[in-house]
């Protein structure tokens, strides 16, 4: 990959294993929206970004090389060799096709606090509604930032939300999730949960710590581990993944525990990547989820 500049834009050429549609449409991130073919705009890490792709060339608009090196390089996980990951996973026909179909997926390195709240909101919800709730949260309690003539908002800090009541938070229309968001904010602000400490824990220990937040269960904690803590050994199992694994690898219905054990044994430390490839491939092709 080569990094160049073009006026106020950063241009990445000869990028491998990267597809903006795969990355932003696989259910891992809720603040980027498609504005044109192969072009998305959103907010992450306190910055707004417009990003566009033309084959193997990626353009990050109105940003700097310093911002790319300091923020976007890690956010888009450019330090990871995804070709190597796909080669390791593509050991059977199912995974070979899933890795081929969603070959441009990268697991974004999202801020932990934002990931915690986003996946609390995601529980028993659909993607359009999740996005709407998160945008209302940011517009109501985040900081305004101007980008390309438009106003965006940062994700509100835990300390900001900890000052709110459940009634204050009702403006985001998250329903029963309001009290869970407030509980998470209180725990992160009080020190009951500390990001540095959570990152120091093993994956099972970190999962247990996250599940101390009201409303964070097995699936949500696994999503937080994968998308907010970069624990690729985490394999989130919801009803859709359960059906996909049953369809592709079993002849009958299985328990969530059985699916989780199967994924751990089959995919090991690459389970999170496998989950993303499988989910995107199956959803887009309506495999096992009818």
pLDDT for 163: 97
- Residues 223-262: tens digit of each pLDDT: 999 999 999 999 999 999 999 999 999 989 999 999 999 9
Residue 268 DSSP SS3: helix
Are 108 and 227 contacting, i.e. CB atoms less than 8 angstroms apart? yes
Strand partners, 103: none
Find the catalytic residue in 219, 242, 266, 286. Answer: 219
- Residues 77-123: tens digit of each pLDDT: 999 999 999 999 999 999 999 999 999 999 999 999 999 999 999 99
- Residues found in the chain: 290
Phi, psi at 35, each rounded to 5°? -115, -15
CA 166 from centre of chain = 26
Q: How confident is the model at residue 56 (pLDDT cuts 50, 70, 90)?
A: confident
pLDDT for 251: 85
In terms of Cβ atoms closer than 10 Å to its own Cβ (0-12, 13-18, 19+), residue 9 is middle
Please report the DSSP string for 179-210 in residue order.
Answer: HHHHHHHHHHHHTSS-HHHHHHS-HHHHHHHH
CA distances from 215 to 49, 61, 91, 95, 177 (A): 31, 38, 37, 32, 8
- Residues 149-181: tens digit of each pLDDT: 999 999 999 999 999 999 999 999 999 999 999
pLDDT for 241: 94
What residues have CB less than 8 Å from 37, skipping those under 6 apart?
none
CATH number of 112-217: 1.10.340.30
Please determine, for residue 144, whether its predicted confidence score (pLDDT) is greater than 80. Answer: yes
For the chain, the domains span: 2-79, 112-217
Are 19 and 86 contacting, i.e. CB atoms less than 8 angstroms apart? no
Q: How confident is the model at residue 290 (pLDDT cuts 50, 70, 90)?
A: low
Round to whole Å and give the CA distance between 29 and 210.
Answer: 19
Tokens 């887009």: give the residue: 284
Q: Give the chain's mean pLDDT.
A: 96
Please determine, for residue 185, whether its predicted confidence score (pLDDT) is greater than 70. Answer: yes
Secondary structure percentages of the chain, helix, strand, coil, to 5: 50, 15, 35
Between 126 and 290, residue with greater pLDDT: 126
Round to whole Å and give the CA distance between 23 and 10.
Answer: 19
pLDDT for 288: 79
pLDDT for 287: 87
- Residues 131-143: tens digit of each pLDDT: 999 999 999 999 9
Phi, psi at 192, each rounded to 5°? -60, -35
- Residues 260-277: tens digit of each pLDDT: 999 999 999 999 999 999
- Which two structure tokens, joined as six digits, stand for 205? 């220990």
Q: Is 219 a catalytic residue?
A: yes
- Residues 8-38: tens digit of each pLDDT: 999 999 999 999 999 999 999 999 999 999 9
Q: What does DSSP assign to residue 170?
A: G
Q: Decide if domain 2-79 falls under CATH 3.30.310.260.
A: yes
Round to whole Å and give the CA distance between 47 and 143.
Answer: 11
Round to whole Å and give the CA distance between 233 and 225.
Answer: 9
Round to whole Å and give the CA distance between 47 and 67.
Answer: 9
């Amino acid at each position: 990959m080569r990094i160049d500049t073009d006026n106020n834009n950063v241009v990445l050429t000869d990028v491998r294993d990267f597809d903006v549609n795969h990355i932003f449409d696989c259910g891992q991130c809720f603040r980027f929206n498609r504005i044109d073919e192969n072009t998305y705009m959103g907010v992450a890490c306190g910055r707004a970004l417009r990003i566009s792709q033309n084959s193997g060339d990626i353009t990050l608009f109105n940003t700097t090389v310093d911002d790319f090196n300091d923020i976007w390089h890690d956010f888009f996980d450019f330090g990871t060799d995804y070709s190597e990951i796909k080669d390791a996973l593509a050991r059977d026909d199912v995974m070979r096709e899933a890795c081929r179909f969603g070959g441009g997926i990268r697991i974004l390195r999202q801020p932990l606090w934002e990931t915690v709240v986003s996946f609390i909101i995601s529980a028993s919800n659909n993607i359009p509604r999740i996005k709407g709730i998160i945008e209302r949260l940011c517009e109501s309690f985040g900081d305004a930032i101007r980008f390309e003539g438009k106003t965006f908002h940062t994700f509100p800090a835990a300390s900001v939300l900890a000052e709110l009541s459940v009634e204050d938070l009702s403006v985001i229309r998250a329903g029963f999730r309001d009290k869970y968001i407030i509980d998470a904010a209180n725990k992160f602000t009080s020190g009951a949960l500390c990001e540095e400490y959570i990152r120091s824990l093993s994956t099972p220990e970190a999962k247990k710590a996250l599940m101390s937040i009201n409303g964070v269960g097995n699936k949500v904690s696994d999503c937080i581990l994968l998308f907010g803590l970069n624990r690729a050994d985490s394999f989130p199992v919801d009803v859709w993944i359960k059906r996909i694994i049953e369809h592709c690898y079993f002849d009958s219905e299985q328990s969530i525990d059985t699916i989780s054990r199967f994924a751990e044994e089959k995919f090991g430390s690459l389970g999170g990547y496998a989950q993303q490839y499988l989910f995107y491939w199956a959803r887009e092709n309506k495999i096992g989820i009818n």
